[in-house]
Structures are given as structure tokens and as C-alpha cells.
Amino acid sequence: MAGAELTGQATIAGPWRLALRRLRRNRVALAAGASFAVLVAICTVGAPIWVALVAHHGPEYENLSGSISDGGRVVPVVADDGTPIGPGWRGAYLLGADANGRDLLVRVLYGGRTSLVIGLGSAALCLTLALSLALLAGYRRGITDTVIARGLDLIWSFPVYLLAVAIATVLAVNGVHLGPIEIPSDSTLIPIVVIAVVYVPYAARPLRGEVLALREREFVEAAIAHGAGAWRTMTRELLPNVLNTALVLLALIVANNILTEAALSYLGVGVALTTPSWGNIIEAGASSIVTAPMLTIAPGVMIVVAAVSLNVLGDGLRDALDPHGVVRVDR
Amino acid sequence: MPENVLDVHDLDVRFATEAGTIHAVRDVSFSLTRGEVLALVGESGSGKSATAMSLTALNRAAGNTRVTGSVRLHGRELMTLSERELRDVRGAQVAMVFQDPMTSLNPVRRVGDLIAEVIRAHDPVPRRAAARRAVELLHEVGIAEPGRRAELFPHQLSGGMRQRVLIAMALALRPAVLVADEPTTALDVTIQAQILRLIRVLRAEHGTSVLLITHDLGVVAGLADRVAVMYAGRIVETAPTSAILASPRHPYTAGLLESIPRIDHPRSARLPSIAGQPPTLQDDDPGCSFAPRCRSAHEACARRPVLSDGIACHLPGGRR
């Protein structure tokens, strides 16, 4: 009998642990992951703390006629000609105010919540839909696959933003009324659903290809020969084999969706204007980009940090999860 | 005469391909008694695997395949069962051991989970209980330190151990029939012997009937009680193993046996082989399929011989 002694934990490390080990050696990806985590933390936990301890007003608080003391002088939050106060070293209005006298930093922090919720939420929804369709198409093959694949092609054939704007416009006017499902037209669920749907082909098409290839592997046949039904074959045999791809896609899609949210909000069909989001803040500040550039720069920097860190993290995940990876970590 | 566990009658399999219909299995009938090992022998493309896949209608899902005939398990007809009913048969009553242990195990799951999965597909036992049972099964198929090895992934095991895992998966629910499709082809000779011994022991312990599919007559000699030789989709000869190895009656069987190098025979310059190629399985010629390659073919071979008394040949024994 082949009875080599098993020694140490190293032998037992599964593919996920090996991937984690590879990821930990990739400093760039780790730094990217950390900066995204910091971003999430300051928007979720940091925002209310900042408001409670320093700013003393929320994101909706308007201060059109008030004034604050800035370095000993008393200055109006919004000047007579409508120019808001700029950034300065003080507690409230650290990054200045917007045209309505609202605290820009507080708005950027709270807007980050909206943008992140939309980015993460739509990515989760998008990937769930994509995985379901890919597994179904790849498992059933034949006519089911044809219908799903052509449906994805149909969505993909539209320019993403054009399709998103079209759907979002319809939904933003009417809201959603589908039997028991009622979504008011100003809900953040609408941009989540819209962004998720338009990017489903982006995730579903590569996943479907992988599932189709896996479907022909002998272990799938073996599982069926052992009595596995459709559900069991899809969830236990096929799904675990595409999770690594799905994870990489998740990071990239979150980044992409944060950008899409900003773009849609900028075009006025994203998040309702009453809710701050990075896209909304830029949209509102765009008209005064010369007199108050911070209104577009601050949320813009946040978007860039979020998108870049997630993209770099996604690349690192792809390297780490590649089973053939000798891994490019010697940087 | 013991009661048959498996009865296959007039099994017929056709694949529709772009090049026309392939008639892979033609009127195949055989039966298995309890604890019996029947070897289905033949060269590539003779219809062995297609026969095995048809037993639990595994090729039914592929839309281009048509299977007719009758497969009875303990007297229950399987051919007319729904996919749902078949799912309960597959793995639980008729289990398969696949050819290549390198590709037949899901690479991203621990082998213990793979075995537990088979159990849970049929039996709603708790996860823990299934995991414990998986370790027992690993022990049963001769894997040392089964508790530790259940935690391993397939790529961390040797080929022989993987084949043992496949056998453990197949035996998890104590099936009445084990279909072993070339179970040793991908293994080293020494490991082959271990696996054959294992199948023999398990057969003796549990009374499992085995349908052994192989082209390796050495494996046949070591394991099978009875042999059915397939050629061009038909069974051309069937007999007890010792009889067929000692005195093959069908010229094809004789040719097969002659083409095996034997250590106890003087080494001749060239290993004999059967001249010609097996027929393409598209057109159904009216005569004996083997006639074009047969040394003893004559006029009678223009009619197809029927299988009677274990042989389908007009001139059993042939003329030398």
C-alpha cells in the first residue's frame, strides 16, 4: 500500500488556503485591499463619528445664511455671490461647503455609503444572476443554453450606458410595480437593479464558458452516475469550480459599478437627487467647477481610490487563484 | 439456478452523428447473478462502454442517442423509468467506477466530502454522519489513515489511491451491481493488482455483482467468472473465463488471445495480430461483421450468425 506518512498541515491546505497564502505575498494587492477596507470603514463607521464629534451637522443640513469663524475671522458659509466657502483647517466644513451651505466632507462620507452600497449590492446581484444563468446554461446545454446565451448577447449588444440610461429613466419615472414588489421611484434599489442587469453578460459570458467546459469533464459525469440530480450537480460539482473566477469578477465588478453609479447619477438617472452619492455630489458641483473645484475633486478622488484599489485587488486575486500560478509576486 | 440480479435483453444503442447514425450496440443480451463478475471484452469502439452507460440510461440525456431494449434490475424494468426514478437507482443500486481516476474526481473538493456527497444524494443523513461513513469507506477500500486522507484533495493522492476513492464512492450505498469501466487501465501494473484484489474482496464480502468492462485479458483472467466478447456492437461469444481462455471458439476471440504477449511462450519475431480494421458501425451489413477479417470465412458467413449456445459463428472453432 502506498503509505507515505502525512506530516504537517501543509499537506492539507486546500486551494483556497493556497490562494490566500499567495495573496498574502502580493504586497501591492494587499495594500489595495487595505485601502478599500479603510474607505469602507470611514464611510460606514467614520461618518457618524465625524458628525457627532467634529462637524455637528448631517449631510442634509443647509446653512445658506450662517457664518463660521475661520482662523479668527467670521466668514459666511455661502458668500453673497453664491460662492460657497472653500476648504480650510477647521472642524466643520473641512473641505468647504456646497452651494446650499451643506458640509462637503460630511456629504462625501455619507455619499460614499450610498455609492458603496450600490456598488456592492449591484455587484452581488449581478454575480448571483450571472452564476445562476451560467450554471443553468452550462448544465442543461442545448436549447436552454442557446436561449440564455443569445439573451446575454442581446443585452451585451447595447452600449452599456445607453441601456442603463434607458432602463433607469423608465424606472426612475414610474418606480417598479410588479405584483407584490413595489419599489418607489426614488429608491436606491433602482440603480442597484439597473446596474446589475446591464453588467450580467459581462460576468455570465465567461462563467458560462467555464461551466460548459467543466460539464464535459468526467467528474461531472461520475456525479450523475452516482445519482446526483440537476441541483446537486450544479451547486456541488460545477459551482465550486467557478467560484474562483466569480470572486475575481466580483472585485472588478464592484469597482466598475461604483463608476457606473457615478456616471448614471451624473446623467441624472442614478440615485435620486435627495440622497447624496459620489455621482450626485459631482453632478451638483459640476456647474461651479471653476469657483469651487473641491465639490468635484473630493468625490472624484474617492471614486478613483475605490475603483483603483478594487481593480488592483482583483488582479491580485486573479494571480492568487490561478492554479497554475507561479505567481508574479517577486515585485 | 440463482436468481438474476441484472437482466439485459436486446439492448440497442444508436447515436445520431453528422456522419450518419452509429449503431453502437446491437441486440446485446446478458445477465448477472448475485456476486458474479462478468467481463465485457472487446476492442475500442466495440460497444462496451455504450452498453455500460445504457444500463442506467446515462446516455439518455444526450439528445442524439436512442436506446431500446430491456434492462431489468431485480426484475424491475429500468428503461421506462423517469429521470427522477433513475436518480435513485444510479449510485445506490447500480454504481459505476470510471476509467480515469485523474479526471473522475472533482478537483476542488476534499475526497471525504466527495464520498459523503454520494451518500447524501440518496440518504438524507446528517453531514457529520455522512462524513464518518466516508472515513469508514476509505478504510474499507484499504486507505491507511483514512481520517487524515479524507481531508485531502484529489491531486494530493496517488493514482491508485484515487481509484480506491472512486471505488469507495461507488460502494458507498452497497449497490447490487458495480459497473467498472476499465478500472485499471490508467494504473501501474502493481497498483492494478491491488485494485483487482480489492474488487475481489469486496465482491466476496458484499455479494456485489460486477460488470467489468475491459480490453485487458489479463484483468479478465484475474477477476471474471464469465466473459462476453463484443465485436462491432454484438456479443460474439460468451463462456466461463477458464473455458474461453483455454479454448476460444469464435475466431475473433482466438485472434484476441493470440495477440497477447505471453511470458511462458517462446518469443516469436512478431506478435500475431488480426488483419484489417473493425467495420464502421454505420451500415448494418447482412452477414457476419467479422467475416471480412476472418481466416475461416466461407459462403455461410454472408448470413449473420445468431448467438446460440454462447457463440455467434457458423464455424465455431474455425478451420486452420
State the helix-helix crossing angle for A104-140 and A294-321, rounded to 10 degrees.
Answer: 30
Chain B hits for A321, CB-CB cut-off 8 Å, are none
Cell reading at A227:
445519482
SS3 state of residue A139 = helix
Residues 141-200 of chain A with CB under 8 A from chain B are 142
In a domain, B54, yes or no: no
Q: In chain B, which residue's Cα lies nearest the Cα of A142?
A: B63
Asked whether the beta carbons of residue A227 and residue B161 sit closer than 8 angstroms, the reply is no
Q: How many CB atoms lie within 10 A of CB A304?
A: 11
Kindly write down the DSSP assignment for every residue of B123-153, as one continuous string. S---HHHHHHHHHHHHHHTT-SSHHHHTTS-
Chain B hits for A237, CB-CB cut-off 8 Å, are 106
Q: What's this model's pTM, rounded to 2 decimal places?
A: 0.85
SS3 state of residue A12 = helix
d(CA A37, CA A42): 9
In a domain, B60, yes or no: no
- The whole-number pLDDT of residue B318 equals 55
pLDDT tens sequence across A48-73: 999 999 888 888 888 888 888 777 78
Cα A44 to chain centroid, rounded: 15
Q: Which of A142, A223, A227 sits opposite B88 (nearest CB)?
A: A227
Of B141-150, B263-272, B297-306, which has the strongest mean pLDDT? B141-150
- Bridge partners of B70, per DSSP, are B9
State the average pLDDT over residues A245-261.
93
In terms of DSSP bridges, do strands B65-73 and B4-17 run parallel, antiparallel, or are they unpaired?
A: antiparallel
- The whole-number pLDDT of residue B2 equals 54
In a domain, B129, yes or no: yes
Q: Answer with the residue of higher pLDDT: A281 or B314.
A: A281
d(CA B252, CA B264): 22
First to last CA, chain B: 37
Specify the range with the lowest mean pLDDT, choosing from A53-57, A145-149, A172-176, B316-320.
B316-320
CATH superfamily label, A112-321: MetI-like (1.10.3720.10)
Kindly write down the DSSP assignment for every residue of B208-227, as one continuous string. -EEEEEES-HHHHHHH-SEE
Asked whether the beta carbons of residue A223 and residue B156 sit closer than 8 angstroms, the reply is no
Q: Which helix (H) or strand (E) holds A86?
A: none
Q: Which of A142, A218, A241 sits opposite B63 (nearest CB)?
A: A142
Cα B176 to chain centroid, rounded: 15
Cell reading at A61:
443640513
In total, how many domains does chain B have?
1
Q: Which of A208, A312, A313, A306 is nearest to A260 (CA)?
A: A306
Cell reading at B298:
466461407
pLDDT tens sequence across B18-70: 888 888 899 999 999 999 999 999 888 888 888 998 998 888 766 788 899 99
Q: B194 touching A, CB under 8 A?
A: yes
SS3 state of residue A74 = strand
Residue type, B308: S
Whether the per-residue pLDDT at B319 is higher than 60: the answer is no
Strand ranges of the sheet holding B4-17, from the earlier edge strand across to the other edge: B20-33, B4-17, B65-73, B76-77
Chain B hits for A142, CB-CB cut-off 8 Å, are 63
Q: Tell me phi and psi for residue B251, to 5 degrees.
A: -55, -30
First to last CA, chain A: 44
Whether the per-residue pLDDT at A323 is higher than 60: the answer is yes
CA distances from A131 to A118, A154, A197, A318 (A): 19, 18, 13, 18
Whether the per-residue pLDDT at B11 is higher than 80: the answer is yes
Whether the per-residue pLDDT at B236 is higher than 80: the answer is yes
In a domain, B150, yes or no: yes
**Dihedral Cα A196, A197, A201, A202, nearest 10 deg:** -30
Q: How many CB atoms lie within 10 A of CB A140?
A: 16
Cell reading at A70:
475661520
Whether the per-residue pLDDT at B10 is higher than 60: the answer is yes
Q: What is chain B's percent helix, strand, coil content, to nearest 5?
A: 35, 25, 45
- Extended strands (E) in chain A: 67-70, 73-76, 176-178, 181-183
Q: A2 touching B, CB under 8 A?
A: yes
State the average pLDDT over residues A114-124.
95
d(CA B281, CA B25): 9
Angle among Cα B89, B91, B94 to the nearest 5 degrees reads 60
pLDDT tens sequence across B140-179: 888 999 999 999 999 889 888 999 999 999 989 999 999 9
Residue A226 distance to chain B (closest CA, Å): 4
**Domain ranges across chain A:** 112-321
| Residue A9 binned pLDDT confidence (cut-offs 50, 70, 90) | very low
Residue type, B268: S
The rounded percent of chain A whose pLDDT value lies above 70 is 93
- Cβ proximity of A55 and A92 under 8 Å: yes
ipTM at complex level: 0.85
d(CA B41, CA B211): 11
- Cβ proximity of A26 and B119 under 8 Å: no
Cell reading at A145:
443554453
- Cβ proximity of B107 and B141 under 8 Å: no
